Structure 1
Amino acid sequence: MTDADIRARLNTLKAELEAMDHSSEESRGTVELDQSRVGRLSRMDALQGQAMNQAIAARRRQALQKVEAALQRLDEGEYGYCVRCGEEISPKRLDLDPAAALCTDCTSGKG
């Protein structure tokens, strides 16, 4: 896979993550607590849904940071090498997760 292919794949992944984050902004917003309009259980459900959506958004932001870091490694000529040990990351691993920063050994704690 060429650098251009990798960059295109990472940019597509980045755009998808940003679009999902933008489309879920409303679900992470403030929950209305007006008892005359919303019952207690409905508010509890809304608060729980809000908390779950905020956690999902946090994981999405982490994934976005991983993608941006991978793009930076690509710019620096370091893409495909483990950031911990410097060994080459398996092409199969990069195919599954193009933003992977660690080799299999370092991910599992062996490296």
Structure 2
Amino acid sequence: MAIDPDLAQRRLAAKRSELEEFSRLSEEARKPVELDQQSVGRLSRMDAMQQQAMAEATERARRRDLARIELAERRLAEDEYGYCLDCGEEIPERRLEIDPMAERCVRCAGSR
């Protein structure tokens, strides 16, 4: 089964838009936590710092996924998209539907 390059590109573009929108929406949560003298106290600041740290970790994961999208687009341009980087077998369409940036078949991904 051949991969439809237009469909693959649309999936990658949709995933990129989704990640960029989430990044934009979480921008406020990643800002430095300011010391608020009117706040309830140290625990509130600690909670805010913990939420900020989680938002930053999520943003790092989004950036990694954006980089994976770029790699998938490069593989698409080179007619290598949809083939496992390890064994060379075709990655099932259903897997690419779920994760359009998938680089490995399920068997090879599971052995890593």
Runs of 4 or more above 2 Å deviation: none
Distance in 1, matches of 2:4 and 2:105, equals 20
1:44 aligns with 2:46: yes
Identity among equivalent positions (%) equals: 47
Distance in 2, matches of 1:105 and 1:43, equals 45
Residues 52-71 of structure 1 mapped to structure 2, 5 A cutoff: 52-71=54-73
Distance in 2, matches of 1:88 and 1:2, equals 13
The total of aligned residue pairs comes to 109
Distance in 2, matches of 1:67 and 1:96, equals 13
1:5 aligns with 2:2: no
Distance in 2, matches of 1:5 and 1:109, equals 28
Counterpart AA for 1:46 = A
| TM-score normalised by length of structure 2 | 0.88
Distance in 1, matches of 2:19 and 2:69, equals 10
Counterpart AA for 2:47 = D
| TM-score normalised by length of structure 1 | 0.89
Q: Which runs of 5+ in 1 are unaligned?
A: none
Shift of 1:85: 2.0
Distance in 2, matches of 1:6 and 1:85, equals 21
RMSD over aligned CA atoms reads 1.5
